[in-house]
Structure 1
Amino acid sequence: MSDANAQKVEQEEESVEAGVHTFSQESEWIKPEHPQLLAQLEWFQNQKLGLMMHWGTYSQLGIVESWALSDDDADWSRDGIDWEQDGETFKQQYWNLNKTFNPVRLQPDEWATLAADNGFKYLIFTTKHHDGYCMWNTKTTDYRITGSESPFRDHRYADICRHVFDAFRNRGLGIAAYFSKADWNTPYYWAPNMERSNPTWRGPSYHPEQHPELWEQFVQFTHEQIMELMSAYGRIDVLWLDAGWVCAESRRVPQDIRLGEVVERARQTQPWLLAADRTVGGPYENIITPEQTVPATALHVPWESCITMGTSFSYKFDDEYKSIRQLVHLLIEVVSKGGNLALNVGPQPDGRLPQGAIRCMEGLGAWLKQNGEAIYSTRICAPYYTERCAFTRKGDSVYGFYLYPSDDSAVEASVTLPYTGKVGRVTLLGANDPLHFACSEEGLLIQLPPSELGGDSAPLAHVFHILAADE
């Protein structure tokens, strides 16, 4: 084992803390060789803003998705479970949520229209979380939205993944299928008749090497589910794989599901398909995915931060949502460091989106309608991001952002951007009138026009369009 692999194995136990994943290092990224995958990565890096949705039976209780089923994670995941002290009783209550999940107010076309009209370019949708509940019409298990115990099974939108994928695709958005490699419902992973660990943990209830026939059943079960999604649900741009502990290198219990085998099989019909095998590294982690965080420095590989609009990935009653200023600054920071931002919303149990999330989407969309040129299809530009300044590049254009932390931030007559490239012309984005500027060792000093001064509150950001001087 190489030193790098040994270090990764050492870190594996800490790869998920309180449900939040760490992320792979830039050095672990392997560039694909196939031209179609390279083209798809260019497409991905142009998109910049995705909509992530964590949705399942758990939305009915307003609790964290799946994690409270794992006794090993009870110390943090059961904080909001105040009606039941006995863990086994709670688990049975959770498993029975499939009998009451009935999102009759689901309107996929309205979701897609809201996303498209407000600048989102792709969807990441939870087809299955760790609890094993399937949001598509799978043939592998009855624990699904179309299952015999589901009150939603005869609804016109019963095959939720199909209708949601179609609606977003019809509005021009890309599709990423979130899929958990773990499955705590199937007896092939948490096997009820085996020597289940006590307490339960996020991994299998048996050692795969000691029960190879059972493990092979789980591998085939997983492959069949993935292939259903990859072959019968239209074009999929990204297979977004969670549960990074399910991998051959897992230290506590090796869990080789032969992922490469099924991804390459899927690529026979979807040759553009990107894989995001989170925290695992290697040839099937085409996209690095920080969670609830932004890397400290720019990354020079494809990456995407998945961050919640509120405080929770799953639906949470009376959640507190981020301000539009926070969201705009978050998007600017992510993009200036070379990444995409996947903003997460947890739909309500009835199928509607929370009003707080709609406000977030519309507020961000309004800003993007004015400033999207400096965001979409851009690439990184040194010095990338500082506390109040950020930069992107597109062709011969450089875009400089000057961020205002709050409504009552002072707006001075001039701002200094730490940009030392050759400058021939500076305008405010969307305006034609050139601005007065001066270049020095400290950077680019720009005079703001009088129209930008004296407002009731500071703008979210000033966005400057910088053109290089002729050689």
Structure 2
Amino acid sequence: MKKLTLAGCLLMAGLALKAQHEPYVKETDPQVLQKLEEWQNWKFGLMMHWGTYSQWGIVESWSLCPEDEGWTQRKPAGIPYYEYVQKYEALANTFNPVKFDPARWAAAAKKAGMKYMVFTTKHHDGFNMFDTRQSNYKITAPNVPFSKDPRADVTKATFEAFRKEGIRIGAYFSKPDWNVDSYWWRYFPPKDRNPSYDLAKYPERWKQFQQFTYNQIEELMTGYGKVDILWLDGGWVRPLSMQTKESLSWSKTPPQDQDINMPAIASMARKHQPGLIVVDRSVHGPYENYRTPEQQIPEKPLDYPWETCMTMGGSWSYVPDDQYKPVNTIIHNLVDIIAKGGNYLLNIGPGPDGTWHDEAYRKLDSIGAWMQVNGEAIYDTRSVAPYKSGKVCFSQKKDGTVYAIYLLEQGEAVPAEIRFSGFAPRKGAAMNVVGDKKKLSWKKVQNEIVVQLPAALAQSGRQHAVAIRIK
């Protein structure tokens, strides 16, 4: 490992400080701005991490990374690194998801009220879930059993199935590729998640990687129908000038200038897909049209477009006995997120045979039942102060209609009254429970608004949350 000089350390510290305070860069393309506005109305989406790793029920890609972290551990423990890599890459020879049924996924997502999806076309391990011409490490390669299936290009089949249900399409794509020689050159052993060679010493090899990445993204933008979102992961792949304290912490070796020429990629992608939303995750700049807090919900509204990406279970990828979040938790997360002005991207990992756990379908059914009644308080809304008061979250339509959404604990009956502060309806404002036309009585008591709910509502069996429409 090369040692940084004092000047180099100061330069890195300066870059980190500069980039850490980079503000959100607002898009200027009118078509992208329009699509972003539409996207903020969709609110609820589906994400899917899927690849050969599902056969082992392990974390996606990361066990290949030679960093000693909790999420990079190899199983069984103690297996020599290169022996493990060979076994991992050989998973392609047995990947045969014969029960792959994207139409069922799409129907379940639509029933749950999901308006868009993001599918992993390629994760960091470099295994392509689409029919790329740039690599033979792909699901359509002759050595992969599923390549004989007419639906072998699972990305195309999945996009088509969801598009038929009216669900918008997002393509997840990993910028780093740990299988291609222009990123992890096998002449040198990888030391961490970053390139295994010195980019300044071998600039032509990096140019090959830039072109490889450009070509693959162009394939996705030209051969897979209408795409609404290009969701790029692997934020350490960025220009040196855009490194942050966080991204520098991801490198065990001196940081390199991993510039993949995002201006050219974005221009090309939008030429083929006008209005395309580009999400260059964690790289704060003109190609991060919205930000993506992972597995967390911000404490308060943010002043830029954002989306919480979160797992339904405990893992992004398929785990045989994964434990899924209760429906109550998922709905409360959704309400909390939209009250703060964000979107909720919920991940389900398909298994090695191409199916979801039955439990995932049951959760989506229950979410859909709630959304069918209460969806108007979720879709096409924006954040409104104070966004939350105790167990009540707020959302607002463009016409000024406000929704006060009371979060019910698991097993809690609808109370006789709810109280909130920080938002004062106009005198004489009409209120009713969404899904019930009966007008509600309300009054102001000191600094609180007290809304009376009909006794029949407590006997109605309503669960998870109750939305009150305030005209």
Q: Do the two structures share a fold, i.e. TM-score over 0.5?
A: yes
Q: 1:53 to 1:413 in 2, by over 3 A?
A: same
- Offset of 1:81 from its aligned partner? 1.9
Cα separation, 2, equivalents of 1:189 and 1:53: 25
Residue 436 of structure 2 corresponds to 431
Q: 1:52 to 1:8 in 2, by over 3 A?
A: farther
User: Which of 61, 64, 72 does residue 66 from structure 1 map onto?
Assistant: 61
Residue 416 of structure 1 corresponds to 419
- Offset of 1:189 from its aligned partner? 0.4
Cα separation, 2, equivalents of 1:452 and 1:458: 7
Q: 1:108 to 1:466 in 2, by over 3 A?
A: same
Residue 177 of structure 2 corresponds to 183
Cα separation, 1, equivalents of 2:18 and 2:195: 19
Q: What SS does the corresponding residue of 1:161 show, helix, strand or coil?
A: helix
Residue 404 of structure 2 corresponds to 400
Residue 101 of structure 2 corresponds to 107
Q: What SS does the corresponding residue of 1:153 show, helix, strand or coil?
A: helix
- Offset of 1:33 from its aligned partner? 1.1
- Offset of 1:214 from its aligned partner? 0.5
Structure 2, unpaired ranges of 5+? 1-9, 249-254
User: Which of 302, 306, 310 does residue 307 from structure 1 map onto?
Assistant: 310
Structure 1, unpaired ranges of 5+? 13-23
Residue 331 of structure 2 corresponds to 328
Amino acid at match of 2:395: T
Q: What SS does the corresponding residue of 2:104 show, helix, strand or coil?
A: helix
Residue 41 of structure 1 corresponds to 36
- 2:425–2:470 contact (8 Å) kept in structure 1: no
Cα separation, 2, equivalents of 1:385 and 1:415: 13
Residue 284 of structure 2 corresponds to 281
User: Which of 210, 216, 239 does residue 219 from structure 1 map onto?
Assistant: 210
Cα separation, 1, equivalents of 2:455 and 2:36: 42
Q: What SS does the corresponding residue of 1:51 show, helix, strand or coil?
A: strand
Q: 1:454 to 1:160 in 2, by over 3 A?
A: closer
Cα separation, 1, equivalents of 2:17 and 2:445: 48
Q: TM-score, normalised by structure 1?
A: 0.91
Q: 1:222 to 1:461 in 2, by over 3 A?
A: same
Q: TM-score, normalised by structure 2?
A: 0.91
- 2:413–2:458 contact (8 Å) kept in structure 1: no
Residue 207 of structure 1 corresponds to 198
Cα separation, 1, equivalents of 2:34 and 2:125: 34
Q: What SS does the corresponding residue of 1:383 show, helix, strand or coil?
A: coil
- Offset of 1:44 from its aligned partner? 0.4
Per-residue CA deviations over 1:422-468 (Å, capped at 9, x if unaligned) read: 2511111121111110124523210111112367x77311210011x
Cα separation, 2, equivalents of 1:176 and 1:90: 32
Q: 1:159 to 1:193 in 2, by over 3 A?
A: same
Cα separation, 1, equivalents of 2:235 and 2:13: 16
- Offset of 1:260 from its aligned partner? 1.4
- 2:390–2:420 contact (8 Å) kept in structure 1: no
Cα separation, 2, equivalents of 1:282 and 1:304: 17
- 2:111–2:364 contact (8 Å) kept in structure 1: no
Amino acid at match of 1:368: M
User: Which of 40, 48, 52 does residue 47 from structure 2 map onto?
Assistant: 52
- Offset of 1:269 from its aligned partner? 2.1
Cα separation, 1, equivalents of 2:95 and 2:107: 24
Amino acid at match of 1:404: L
Q: 1:233 to 1:465 in 2, by over 3 A?
A: same
CA RMSD of aligned residues (A): 2.1
Are 2:131 and 1:126 aligned?
no
Per-residue CA deviations over 1:120-160 (Å, capped at 9, x if unaligned) read: 11110000000000001000000000012111111011011
Per-residue CA deviations over 1:175-227 (Å, capped at 9, x if unaligned) read: 01000000000011000113x34xx3111001212210000000000100000
Cα separation, 1, equivalents of 2:215 and 2:43: 31
- Offset of 1:8 from its aligned partner? 6.7
Are 2:246 and 1:242 aligned?
no
User: Which of 72, 75, 78 does residue 81 from structure 1 map onto?
Assistant: 75
Aligned residues: 447
- Offset of 1:346 from its aligned partner? 0.2
Residue 130 of structure 2 corresponds to 136
Cα separation, 2, equivalents of 1:383 and 1:38: 26
Per-residue CA deviations over 1:271-329 (Å, capped at 9, x if unaligned) read: 11110000001100001111100111111321111100000000011000011100110
- Offset of 1:170 from its aligned partner? 1.2
- 2:63–2:73 contact (8 Å) kept in structure 1: no
Are 2:176 and 1:172 aligned?
no
Residue 452 of structure 2 corresponds to 447
Residue 9 of structure 1 corresponds to 16
Cα separation, 2, equivalents of 1:7 and 1:400: 45
- 2:405–2:465 contact (8 Å) kept in structure 1: yes
- 1:420–1:441 contact (8 Å) kept in structure 2: no
Equivalent pairs: percent with the same residue? 41
Cα separation, 2, equivalents of 1:10 and 1:149: 48
Q: 1:7 to 1:463 in 2, by over 3 A?
A: farther
Residue 349 of structure 1 corresponds to 352
Per-residue CA deviations over 1:216-240 (Å, capped at 9, x if unaligned) read: 0000001000000011111110100
Cα separation, 2, equivalents of 1:328 and 1:297: 18
Q: 1:7 to 1:41 in 2, by over 3 A?
A: farther
